[in-house]
Amino acid sequence: MKKITLTLLSFILTFSMFAGGLVTNTNQSAAWTRMLNRNATVEIDAVFFNPAALTKLEDGFHLSISNQIIGQTKSITNSALGNKTFEGDVFAPVYPSISAAYKTGKLAFSFGFYPVGGGGSAEFNDGVPSIEMGIASLPTALAALGATGGFSYNTYLEGSSVYFGIQGGISYEINDMISVFAGARYVMAKNTYSGYIRDITLQTADPNAPLTNASVTAMADYAQAAADGVGQIVDGGGGDLTLEQAEQAQLIDAATRAQLEAGLVQMGLDPATMPLSGVESAYATAATNMYTAAGVLADQELDAEQTGSGITPIIGVNLSLMEDRLNIGLKYEFKTAMTLTNATTKDIVVGVDPTTGQPITMFPDGAESNADIPALLSGGVSFKVNDALRIEADFESYFDKSVGWKRSDPFTGAEITADDFIDKGYLLYGFGLEYNISDALLISAGWSGTQTGVNDKYHSDLSYSLNTNTFGGGLAYKINDMIKLNLGGYYVMYTDKTIQYPVSTTEYYTQTYDTKLWGVGIGLDFSF
Lowest mean pLDDT among 163-177, 308-322, 495-509: 495-509
Angstrom distance (rounded) from CA 119 to CA 112: 16
Please determine, for residue 508, whether its predicted confidence score (pLDDT) is greater than 80. Answer: yes
Query: Percentage of residues in the chain with pLDDT exceeding 90?
Result: 73
- Write down the pLDDT at residue 2: 43
pLDDT band at 500 (very low <50, low <70, confident <90, very high): very high
For residue 158, the model assigns a pLDDT of 87
- Average pLDDT, integer, range 102-123: 92
pLDDT score, position 17: 54
Give 4-25 pLDDT, tens digit per residue.
Answer: 444 444 444 555 555 578 899 9
Task: Determine the Cα–Cα distance for residues 314 and 178; give it in Å rounded to an integer.
Answer: 17
Burial class (CB in 10 A: 0-12, 13-18, 19+), 383: middle
State the pLDDT at residue 19: 53
- pLDDT for 329 equals 98
Total residues found in the chain within this entry: 528
- DSSP letter string over 317-338? EEEEETTTTEEEEEEEE--B--
Domain locations in the chain? 30-204+302-527, 213-293
Q: Is 30-204+302-527 a CATH 3.40.50.620 domain?
A: no
Which of these ranges, 115-119, 434-438, 461-465, has the smallest mean pLDDT? 461-465
Confidence of residue 302 (pLDDT cuts 50, 70, 90): very high
What pLDDT does residue 131 have? 83
Encode pLDDT of 364-402 as tens digits. 999 999 999 999 999 999 999 999 999 999 999 999 999
The pLDDT mean for the chain works out to 91
> Which pLDDT score, from 0 to 100, does residue 3 have?
45
Whole-angstrom distance, CA of residue 45 vs CA of residue 123: 32
pLDDT for 352: 63
Average pLDDT estimate for 88-97: 89
Rounded to 10 deg, the angle between the 276-297 and 254-266 helix axes is 60
Q: With 0-12 CB in 10 A as exposed, 13-18 as middle and 19+ as buried, what is 522? A: middle
Please name which of 340, 404, 405, 408 lies closest in space to residue 368, comparing C-alpha atoms: 340
* Residue 124 pLDDT: 85
Read off the pLDDT of residues 230-279 as tens digits, 9 standing for 90 and up: 999 999 999 999 999 999 999 999 999 999 999 999 888 999 889 999 99
Q: Is the pLDDT of residue 190 over 90?
A: yes
Residue 95: what pLDDT? 93
Tell me the pLDDT tens digit for each residue of 164-179.
999 999 999 999 999 9
Gap between the Cα atoms of 292 and 287, Å rounded: 9
Is the model more confident about 461 or about 5? 461
Output the CA torsion sign for 462, 150, 360, 193.
Answer: positive
Task: For 460, list phi and psi in degrees, rounded to 5.
Answer: -145, 180
pLDDT beyond 50 at 44: yes
At 527 the three-state DSSP class reads strand
